[in-house]
Structure 1
Amino acid sequence: MEHRDGEIAVKRPNLSDGGDGGGSGSEDRLSALPDDVLIHILLKLLDTTFAARTSVLSTRWRRLWRLLPRLYFPAGNDPQRICLALTAHEAPTLCNLEVRVMDGTPDSVAPWLPIAARRLSRGLCLINSVTHSGSEDMAGGRGALELPCFESATSIFLSLGYIGLAVPSSGVFARLTGLELNRITVHGPCTLGDAVSSPCCPVLQYLVISDSWGLGSFTIHSESLLEMKLTYLRGLQQLTVMASALKLLDVSSCFATDLSYDQPVVNISAPQLLTLLWRDVYDPRFMQLGKMENLQWLGTYPLMVYGQYEYKVLNSFCTRLLQRFELIQNLILMLVYRPEDITNHHYLMEQHITRLPYITFMVMNIVASGHSFGASSFHVLRMCAGLRKLSLTVGVTTIPVEEETACPSSCACHQPPNWKTDELVLSCLREVEIHNLRGTEHEAALVKRLFDWATVLEKVTVTLHCSVAPNVAKGFCQRLQSFSRPGIRMEGLHFSKSSRDKS
């Protein structure tokens, strides 16, 4: 019998044919239901402590909660209570365990974790929410939690609020396919890289490590890993990845961009890689990415359109990576305008972006911050002669929309003006998606030029930001439709959710 939540209930005999504890000699209708149905009802209570309280109803209910296939303990539960619940649990297997704590310490988690390691057959989720501020001050300051070996677990998610984590030096996570570590501080004699490599995790396929400390060096050798994402690993200086089956590698904001630091050293061997999202420092003198003959998707460090000297250095991370490839089927590129007066800043596009790999699909995200982005878009597109599809999203930014202001006509972002007059033929471009438009004049001007440049355009999809007033949206959409030619199918022209609504 399979329930709606995906759990498979095992048929069991009734635990008691006795009375309801009230001396009536007969059971109520609810208690007369089969065990698997009652267990399904208890699962709907979510909090396991609530489910356990039903044991006082009658002898019929006394042991039912102990047969739950998954246990959930929200913040506020006493660690001893969790220990007792895990010890009393009688189901053949414990499929899933989720525990949330507030301002937890290693001492508050350590008592029940080994019990869970022995019983768990599927997923562990442990989330420690902290009320303190300043992760750097907290990192490593509250001791370390020793993670036991979960021999039967298939997935583990730990978000520890920066308390220390020591991985086991022995044992095999024989069935672990997914591991996600967030807000940890690595401790212990055994390195994290050893713990997640094939000898200890022979079937690991998905690995995420984010917003963490203590990984000055990370080396992984895996024959099973398919996806790996590393984000905000403070202090990382050396990264070695030997993964023969890896399909996706995402490295973002792990290495210090300050040139006063030692150059990070990277060695990647992933011959089957399909997607590389390298939004980080890149210097080919110290970073070896190996052969990537099957690569289909490439994402790079953001490009600053205007800026001073320090932005030239940041842009080099993107341009050096782009220069490594002659052909990339799909490219993800971000153009960033600072939300400030850029009159005295240098226009960096013509100095840095002189060549792109041959691409057929481009995802271009533009953090416009109220500036005109026609010139920078034109500069990129004129190097994309083979482009077949373009997806352009405006306003990928954390700045609230109401705080964005259009720049004056004298702003430097309107320069150089050649994009408004120079000819450009995108003879392969057949489909264009433009998202999150605000209905501004410079947006309309760019869309008009796209219709001129794309001589074989077949389909255009446009969405407007939810902040656009209905009357403005209607007029703007009519204006865009006036640019169209016979044979072009226009779709969308509706509101998109703001970034705040999506978060």
Structure 2
Amino acid sequence: MEHCDGEIPIKRPNLPDGGDDGGGGGGGGSEDRLSALPDDVLIEILLKLLDAAVAARTSVLSRRWRRLWRLLPGLYFPSGSGNDPQRIRLALAAHEAPTFRNLEVRVLDGTPDSVASWLPFAARRLSGGLCLINSLTRNGSEDMAGERGAFELPCFQSATSIFLSLGYIGLAVPSSGVFARLTELELNRITVHGACTLGDAVSSPCCPVLQNLVISDSCHLGNFTIHSESLLEMKLMYLRGLQQLTVMAPALKLLDVRNCFAPDFLSYNQPVVSISAPQLLTLLWRDFYDPRFMQLGKMENLEWLGTYPLMVYGQDEYKILNSFCTRLLQRFELIQNLILMLVYRPEDLTNQHYLMEQHITRLPYITFMVMDIVASGHSFGACSFHVLRMCTSLRKLSLTVGVTTIPVEEETVCPSSCACHQPPNWKTDELVLSCLREVEIHNLRGTEHEAALVKRLFDWATVLEEVTITLHCSVATNVAKEFCQRLQSFSRPGIRMEGSHFS
């Protein structure tokens, strides 16, 4: 070991056989200037190592270093050392501070028994954040949960944040105890076990100051009921088997629900939802919605609404999917900010029906719209026109193209015979957006149909003042400059255009 952070040289003393340098002296005329630094400075150096086991091995440097790692405010066990529960347990036992602020453990293919062997000890001494990540070396799913078993989460009375990503290890929540200081809880890839429900464990009696709750990619929640006086934000994403959701949260500001409910259209076993969140400001409901089974309560303070994606073209069966969005929109007369996603299927649309005019006939009164279009190479002028003509009160528009995980090189330009060019009325019909003053358009590829839509926007927005354009990173510089110059030719005096290629 010759350098620490590339700045402070370390010279190991010449020790006699079996000897020790005594903690900062120098045998044989050598000098250990690093060990002479104060404890708090040396601890900061050890924190840079980011591995509890490596930090502990610095004890061989001298007697001065032997106990320093035990004073670290947090311990980190990467995958190599995190798979040894004995090492974790011994490190926690040897740690001299009465509490430690942070504990991060990463394991590979961990088992319930290996986690349960050290977690209760950590629960008694942790005063800050816990991060436990179990990564799988083979494809894992909730189907493996039964064979992998479960462990009970101990009560962390002093922890302030907990993040668990368990690789579908079964998790049983404690039936007693109070997480008195817990403000943030995130559970990922868990399988719920035990008699005590997860909803009871995260409600106010057990988590009196919980503010942020995230549950994602998990299963077997069944009925989830939470009563929380402190909760401010809750995100529920990809929860398999969720049949009932009840939320009583008077302070809740943000609720994000996506892909949690699987409606049974062949029976009466529909998911049931009851939400009481009178102070809610943001509702992102990207999921099944049927007002016959789902009561959202009064949301008089709501400022942001996000809905399930709308399929622009498709067969009649997409009417059901599109109804998730349209039914939710019909619930509101007025909303300040709307997030709307329009999706094109990536394949040829020749035999597909245009669904917008059938499925979306009214929008709430809105002043700001965030419109994300997954175009998959198709022209999106018709659907944009259809939406905009129903919100003439719009003051600001933010349009992003291609919000998708599909690589750009896999998107193909559709042929001129493609159905996405129909109906063509958006190219000729008049539309007056007399309130629209600001437009942002992101991720453009420099195509002809994009230029045509921007040109029409300049025609429709009679009081437009500011336009911001960004192009996708794959667009060549010369193509981008030429495209931006073309867009500038559509502009009028008084309109300020911004972008990396406007100059």
Question: Post-superposition shift, 1:490?
Answer: 0.1
CA 1:309–1:297: 2 relative to 1, 3 Å: same
Match of 2:15 in 1: none
1:64 to 2:71 alignment: no
Q: Within the alignment, does 1:55 sit opposite 2:30 as a pair?
A: no
Partner of 1:91: 97
Counterpart for residue 322 of structure 1: 329
SS at match of 1:31: helix
CA distance in structure 1 between the partners assigned to 2:383 and 2:54 by the alignment: 59
- 1:127·1:160 contact (CA, 8 Å) conserved in 2? yes
Matched residue type, 1:459 = E
Per-residue CA deviation, residues 103-123 of structure 1 (Å, 9 max, x unaligned), is: 001111111101110010010
| Deviation digits for residues 10-37 of structure 1 (CA, Å, limit 9, x no counterpart) | xxxxxx9944587569861111000000
Q: Does residue 34 of the first structure (1) align with residue 41 of the second (2)?
A: no
Q: Distance in 1 between matches of 2:225 and 2:241?
A: 15
1:203-352 pair list within 5 angstroms: 203-257=209-263, 259-260=265-266, 262-352=269-359
Preserved CA contact (<8 Å) 1:279 1:299: yes
Structure 1: which amino acid aligns with 2:327? R
1:358 has 2:365 as partner:
yes
Deviation per residue, 1:297-322 (Å, 9 max, x gap): 00000000001122110000000000
Tell me, yes or no, if the aligned pair for 2:261 and 2:288 is still in contact at 8 Å.
Answer: yes
Superposed displacement of residue 140, structure 1? 3.4
* Matching residue within 431, 438, 456 for 1:449: 456
Contact kept in structure 1, 2:26 and 2:32, CA below 8 Å: no
Structure 2 CA distance for aligned equivalents of residues 106 and 20 of structure 1 = 44
Give the aligned length. 480
**TM (normalized to structure 1)?**
0.93
Does the 8 A contact of 1:391 with 1:434 survive in 2? yes
Q: Is the 8 A contact 1:161 1:183 kept in 2?
A: yes
- 1:136 is displaced (CA, Å) by 3.5
Q: What runs of 5+ residues in structure 2 fail to find an aligned partner?
A: 1-19
Aligned match of 2:113: 107
Amino acid at match of 1:131: T
Written as runs of structure 1 = structure 2, the 5 A alignment for 1:317-466 is: 317-466=324-473
Whichever residue aligns with residue 108 of structure 1, its letter is: S
Letter of the 1:321 partner, please give it.
L
Give the letter for the 1:338 counterpart: R
1:184 pairs with one of 172, 186, 190: 190
Question: Is the 8 Å Cα contact of residues 21 and 58 (structure 1) preserved in structure 2?
Answer: no
Query: What residue number does 1:478 align with?
Result: 485
CA shift, 1:340, in A, is 0.7
Higher mean displacement: 315-324 or 102-111? 102-111
**Residue deviations 1:413-448 (CA, integer Å, cap 9, x gap):** 111111000000000000000000011110000000
Distance 2:500 2:21 in 1: 64
Match of 2:10 in 1: none
CA distance in structure 2 between the partners assigned to 1:140 and 1:376 by the alignment: 47
**Structure 1 contact 257–314 (Cα < 8 Å) conserved:** no
* SS of aligned partner of 1:123: strand
Contact preservation (8 Å) 1:125, 1:156: yes
Question: How far did 1:187 drift?
Answer: 0.4
Whole-angstrom distance in 1 between the partners of 2:29 and 2:455 = 82
The one-letter code sitting in structure 1 at the alignment partner of 2:146 is: G
- Tell me the distance in 1 between the aligned counterparts of 2:194 and 2:308: 33
Alpha-carbon distance in 2 for matches of 1:150, 1:19: 37
Deviations 1:213-268 (CA, angstroms, capped at 9, x unpaired): 11111000000000000000001110000000000000000011552362100000
- How far apart in 2 are the matches of 1:158 and 1:443? 44
Contact 1:48 1:73 in 2 (8 A): yes
Task: Select between 166-175 and 337-346 the one with higher mean Cα deviation.
Answer: 337-346
Aligned counterparts of 2:87 and 2:229: Cα–Cα separation in 1: 40
Distance in 2, matches of 1:228 and 1:87, equals: 35
Question: Deviation of residue 494 (structure 1)?
Answer: 4.7
Q: Secondary structure at the match of 1:268?
A: strand
5+ long unaligned stretches in structure 1? 1-15, 496-503
Percentage of pairs with the same residue: 88
Contact 1:461 1:493 in 2 (8 A): no
Distance 1:453 1:188, change over 3 A: same
- Distance (whole Å) between structure 1 residues aligned to residue 57 and residue 140 of structure 2: 39
| Offset of residue 471 of structure 1 | 2.1
CA–CA distance in structure 2, aligned partners of residues 331 and 57 of structure 1? 61
Q: 1:134 to 1:82 in 2, by over 3 A?
A: closer
Deviates more, 1:315-324 or 1:20-29: 20-29
Determine if contact 1:230/1:251 at 8 Å carries over to the other structure.
yes
Look up the equivalent residue of 2:462 and give its one-letter code: T
Deviates more, 1:469-478 or 1:64-73: 469-478
State how far apart, in whole Å, the 2-side matches of 1:406 and 1:319 are.
29
Amino acid at match of 1:44: K
Tell me whether 1:162 sits opposite 2:168 in the alignment.
yes
Aligned partners of 1:314, 1:213: CA distance in 2, in Å?
23
Q: Distance in 2 between matches of 1:21 and 1:149?
A: 46
Note if contact 2:100-2:128 (Cα within 8 Å) is conserved in structure 1.
yes
1:129 pairs with 135, 139, 142, which one?
A: 135
Q: TM-score of the superposition, structure 2-length normalised?
A: 0.93
